[in-house]
Amino acid sequence: MSNQALARKWRPRQFADVVGQEHILKALVHALDQNRLHHAYLFTGTRGVGKTTIARIFAKALNCEQGVSAEPCGKCSACLSVDEGRFVDLLEVDAASRTKVDDTRELLDNVQYAPASGRYKIYLIDEVHMLSGHSFNALLKTLEEPPAHVVFLFATTDPKKLPVTVLSRCLQFNLRALGEAEIAGQLGKVLDAESMEHDQRALALIADSARGSMRDALSLLDQALAYGSGRVVEDDVRQMLGMVDDAYIQHVLDALAASDSAALMDAVAKMAEMSVDFEAALDDLIFLLYQLAMVQELGRYPVESRFDRDWVAGVAEKISPEDVQLYYQIAINGKKDLPYSPYLRTGFEMIVLRMLVFRPAPAGESPEPTPPAHGSHGKQKQRPPAAGEQASGAESGAASARRPQAEAPRTGASTGESWHDVVTKLPLNGLLREIALNAVLQHHQAGEISLLVEPVHERVLNAERKASLQQALAAYYGEAIKLTVDFGAPEQETPRARSDRIESEQRQQLVDEVHANPVVKDLQQRFGAQLDDSLIQGKKQ
């Protein structure tokens, strides 16, 4: 095949060519230069970040005919053989296709023999976590006491699946996902070397889609070159990746900033006309809101942004930080619900309409009904009554139901206060909660509370627990509380007795329903079956 994929053609041949893994390379270079070598190395990380590439360069450095060095010559027969994948003493194994213990034993049969041509015999096992438990056991003995001429290089995307006995015998190096700027910079170097026309916006889109994987980025670059007939430009890359034009998302956010529902629906309609992927559009909106929050709080862009910075800065001044956080939360939750919508457009419209309708209340104030958005359609909302006017009881009650009121001060038992409701809201646990559940409220007036507690709890309600209960009541009522406790048999129903009664009634109701079930009656009549009421259980709430 005359043409070679860019991911293979531009695979690094030296440590200096590897992009973005300086923390790994520093340790390996020092180990090679100082001849402080280990017998087993584990390289972990997501796909396409350079695990097997670094392992091959390391194998080349160990077997270079010029000597062990962090800079193999790349010209000797050993280096060329490793690059071409035909070095006899480098045994590369894909563990995903050789998971059986017999495969591992066959692989290790010749481990005791000296290398055929190199300095070290190297076992490079990719996706090592795919080996079976028996295979790991077969490998473990050799890993514990390897011959001096053997080096194991393991690569995996899921190190958590490796037994700790294997992990403890390896030097572990975790390769990080690459940043978008690093990927875009490397793609630019590749295209410059290949003398291909390109623009930076297109490379930024490819880097964003690669999600930290250089190999994925190079594969997408190959696809973009084919799509654009040797040119990599923004419009072609957008069409190839099915990405949403930034202008659409900007129009959506502009409409939200202006509280203009008509402009918002118009922006969504234009997106539908262009057959935009609304799922991808929601992802872009979430990312843009994230950038807005960072600009508002930190005054800087956290990552390389494809959105116009001047426009982002302008919108950041129009939308409050509270609204941005609310929009982000609505979008994240909407992303979970989007697959359940009958149409993706419908789901997207409902998400952005929620952003328009829901607004956080100013600190210390009750939220007022949102005035109709500019250009919005439909019935006008009624204005609040002016000074001197009296709202009707129905309107007042509806408004009260629509917006949360400031919590009124809690008063005593004279207002019909339920001790059961109070206990469920107090931050009590353990023995103190049991004491409160087995008490009744005798009196609550003017900061004084009197409880009657069942005598069985008298010896466990010490001064410390009484003080804790008094403190919890003071925090609940928002005032200083003087607590007195008497002991005796309560005439009223305690919260514990109430809960037990309700549970018993619910269980009896369930038993009655089962006995009345026609299917159960039929079984009893036909087969003389008997019900064991103790085994009847309801669904837990």
Kindly report the CATH number assigned to the domain that includes residue 483. 3.30.300.150
Instruction: Judge if 17 and 164 occupy the same domain.
Output: yes
| Mean pLDDT, residues 523-531 taken together | 77
Indicate whether 541 belongs to any domain.
no
- Compute the average pLDDT of residues 380-398: 42
Cα-based distances in Å from 31 to 173, 175, 259, 436, 470 = 13, 17, 61, 66, 65
Rounded mean pLDDT, 20-38: 91
d(CA 221, CA 228): 10
270 and 206: one domain?
no
Mean pLDDT, residues 322-332: 92
* Same domain as 166, residue 44: yes
- What is the total count of domains within the chain? 5
- Asked whether residue 267 is assigned to any structural domain, the reply reads yes
Residue 303 has pLDDT above 70, yes or no: no
Three-state DSSP class for residue 94: strand
Same domain, 348 and 256: yes
Q: Tell me, what's the pLDDT at 151?
A: 93
Q: Are residues 208 and 146 in the same domain?
A: no
Q: Is there a single domain that holds both residue 185 and residue 201?
A: yes
Any residues with CB less than 8 A from the CB of 345 and at least 6 apart, and which?
268, 271, 272, 278
Helix (H) / strand (E) element for 111: namely none
Tokens read off for 3:
């043409």
Same domain? 72 vs 168: yes
pLDDT band at 302 (very low <50, low <70, confident <90, very high): low
Q: What is the pLDDT of residue 381?
A: 41
Within-domain flag for 366: no
Top pLDDT among 526 and 193 is at 193
Task: Answer whether 243's CB lies under 8 Å from 280's CB.
Answer: yes
353 found inside a domain: yes
In DSSP terms, 273 is beta-bridged to none
Q: How far apart are CA 365 and CA 157, in angstroms?
A: 51
> Alpha carbon 291 to chain centroid distance?
18
Question: Six-digit token pair at 129?
Answer: 């976590």
What average pLDDT does this structure show over 61-81?
90
Q: Are 16 and 165 a contacting pair, CB within 8 Å?
A: no
pLDDT score at 520: 77
Evaluate whether 315 touches 254 at the Cβ level (below 8 Å). yes
pLDDT beyond 70 at 329: yes
What number of residues does the chain have?
Answer: 541
d(CA 54, CA 174): 12
Which of the pair, 412 or 57, is modelled with greater confidence? 57
CATH number for the domain including 61? 3.40.50.300
Do 511 and 527 fall within a single domain? Answer: yes
Residue range 371-400: mean pLDDT, rounded: 43
In angstroms and rounded to an integer, the radius of gyration of the C-alpha atoms of the chain is 35
* Model pLDDT, residue 351: 93
| CA distance linking residue 181 with residue 305, whole number of Å | 10
Closest CA to 320 of 375, 274, 266, 360: 360
3-state secondary structure of 156: strand
Residue 276 in any domain: the answer is: yes
Q: Are 64 and 163 in the same domain?
A: yes
Indicate whether 148 and 25 sit together in one domain.
Answer: yes
229: phi > 0 → left, psi -120 to 50 → alpha, else beta; which?
left
Q: What is the mean pLDDT of residues 24-48?
A: 91
**Which among 28, 4, 12, 331 has a CA at the least distance from the CA of 171?**
28
At which residue do the structure tokens 């009484």 appear? 466
Residue 337 has pLDDT above 80, yes or no: yes
Q: How far is CA 267 from the centre of its chain?
A: 29
What pLDDT is attached to residue 301? Answer: 66
Residue pair 418/439 in contact (Cβ under 8 Å)? The answer is no
- Kindly report the CATH number assigned to the domain that includes residue 228: 1.10.8.60
Domain holding 231, by residue range, is 180-241
pLDDT range class, residue 474, cuts 50, 70, 90: confident
Residue 182, amino acid: E
